[in-house]
């Protein structure tokens, strides 16, 4: 009788653990934005925009979703620093945007700045470790470029007299 109670209690504990770890709130996934690319560009100036073109039945797209985008570190990096959009290539909108950015392979993931200019393109399937390296490098470069573009805008566009002053100062040296 003690063995039966022990086995049942272990079984009960296993079921509870299974249900807890299977809960979708505990899984790491990307928060996909449901709007258009142009709407995403107006949301936040400090974040890049990542657009993933996919087809549900394409094996490479399934691998990218199952292995790469479900990776804990990758999903956290994307959710914190990037507005992510998933576009079905099979729709007319998807085909139009796919052609607009001259893409040629599925899945394709493009990274855009707030002006919707392409910063990086990743074509095809990338395993998690490769995608993570590319993503970290891209975020590091983006933060540096964004900082310097901000300085250029602040000093030379908003205050053109600063540019004239700098040119004059360098001319007197």
Q: What is the CATH number of the domain that holds 152?
A: 3.40.30.10
Which of 37, 41, 39 has its CA nearest to residue 115?
41
Structure-model confidence comparison of residues 163 and 61, the more confident one: 61
Q: How confident is the model at residue 164 (pLDDT cuts 50, 70, 90)?
A: low
pLDDT at 120 > cutoff 80: yes
pLDDT at site 23: 40
pTM reported for the whole predicted model: 0.69
pLDDT at 20 > cutoff 80: no
Find the range with the poorest average confidence among 37-41, 45-49, 56-60, 88-92.
45-49
pLDDT at site 12: 55
Q: H helices then E strands: how many in the chain?
A: 7, 5
Q: 54: which strand partners? A: 88
Tally of domains in the chain: 1
Q: Give percent of the chain above pLDDT 90.
A: 50
pLDDT at site 16: 58
pLDDT at site 2: 73
Q: How confident is the model at residue 18 (pLDDT cuts 50, 70, 90)?
A: low
Structure-model confidence comparison of residues 112 and 168, the more confident one: 112
Mean pLDDT of 25-53: 83
Range of the domain at 83: 2-171
Cα distances from 75 to residues 57, 59, 155, in angstroms, run 22, 20, 36
pLDDT at site 80: 93
- How many of the other CB atoms lie within 10 Å of CB of 106? 18
Contacts of residue 137, Cβ cutoff 8 Å, sequence gap at least 6: none
Note whether 134 and 120 are within 8 A (CB): yes
pLDDT at site 127: 95
- How many of the other CB atoms lie within 10 Å of CB of 173? 4
Can you point out the beta strands (E) in 2-131?
Answer: 32-33, 48-54, 82-88, 108-112, 118-123
Across the chain, what does the average pLDDT equal? 81
Cα 4 to Cα 123: distance, rounded to the nearest angstrom: 56
pLDDT at site 1: 72
pLDDT at 24 > cutoff 50: no
Q: How confident is the model at residue 125 (pLDDT cuts 50, 70, 90)?
A: very high
């Amino acid at each position: 009788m003690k063995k039966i109670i022990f086995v049942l209690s272990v079984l009960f504990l296993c079921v509870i653990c299974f249900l807890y770890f299977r809960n979708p709130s505990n899984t790491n996934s990307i928060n996909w934005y449901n709007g258009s690319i142009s709407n995403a560009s107006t949301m936040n100036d400090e974040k890049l925009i990542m657009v993933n073109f996919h087809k549900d039945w394409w094996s490479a797209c399934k691998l990218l979703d199952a292995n790469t985008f479900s990776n804990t570190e990758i999903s956290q990096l994307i959710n914190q620093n990037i507005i992510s959009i998933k576009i079905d290539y099979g729709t007319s909108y998807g085909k139009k945007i796919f052609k607009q950015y001259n893409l040629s392979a599925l899945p394709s993931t493009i990274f855009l700045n707030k002006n919707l200019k392409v910063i990086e393109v990743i074509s095809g399937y990338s395993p998690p470790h490769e995608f993570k390296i590319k993503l970290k490098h891209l975020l590091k470069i983006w933060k540096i470029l964004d900082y310097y573009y901000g300085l250029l805008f602040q000093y030379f566009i908003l205050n053109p007299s600063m540019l004239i002053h700098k040119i004059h100062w360098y001319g007197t040296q």
